[in-house]
Amino acid sequence: MNVNLSEIRRRTVTPNDYISSLEEASRGLFLAKKRNYALHSEALPTLRKFADRIVVVAFSASWCKDCAEQIPVLALLSDATGLEVRIFGGIKKDPLSQICKWRIPPSPPEVVTLHVDKLPTMIVFGLNGNEIGRIEEHPRTMPTLEQELNEIVKSHNSDCNSGITT
């Protein structure tokens, strides 16, 4: 699937802006993780190398424990590597629907078009808008988020080298 990254940038915020916008109780959980987490440095050189060739788009909610674990790591990665990370926040479940998982609005319509089933969902896009990988809830193949992002980038090297911009 190809997305319009310019439109996504317009409708999202950085991880630090997202965390700052949360209500105090939720913000405290996100900030505690950010303060206490140490990035695994072996993943950083590759992420720095490809930071200008990929965009990570994440879907988050203040009530989500996995979001409180992963979104602060994305903020740290962005700060440490220059990686562009954009957050769609305010995701809400739709408890009245048997068909739709998310209530739209306030959830953005991208939860449907990008097939978001779990939170957080972190999607890695090349600059051409093509999805090159995704992580749902937490890393599945590597011990940390930065290590798994590193593996996605390394395994899709040719997609990351596309010079097409959106």
Instruction: Show the domains of the chain with their CATH numbers.
Output: 5-160 (3.40.30.10)
CA quadruple 74, 78, 79, 82: dihedral, nearest 10: 170
Angle at 105 between CA 102 and CA 106, to 5 degrees: 85
Does position 160 have pLDDT exceeding 90, yes or no? Answer: no
The whole-model pTM stands at 0.91
Give mean pLDDT, residues 1-9.
91
| Residue range 6-26, pLDDT digits in tens | 999 999 999 999 999 999 999
